[in-house]
Amino acid sequence: MRDTSAARWKKSSRSMNQGACVEVAFVGEVQVMMRDSKAPDAGVLVVDRRRWAEFVAKLSK
């Protein structure tokens, strides 16, 4: 399991405090980690920055 203790997790300012959020942490220049804010210890999904950029671009359309 990946050590996420030093990660700086962020979530959308639009998420408010409802607890159903995806949190994101950028790891260096290469990777992005994602996790469920309701269950931060349940694990993380790691993708490279290129895939992250593609994902965000598709959401923006």
The domain segmentation of the chain, as residue ranges, is 13-60
Question: What is the C-alpha R_g of the chain?
Answer: 12
Q: pLDDT per residue over 13-50, tens digit each?
A: 777 676 678 999 998 889 999 999 888 888 899 999 99
pTM score: 0.79
Angle of CA points 48, 2, 25, to nearest 5°: 50
CA distance 9 to 24: 5
Four-residue CA torsion sign, 26, 32, 33, 37: positive
The burial class, CB within 10 Å (0-12 / 13-18 / 19+), for 32 is buried
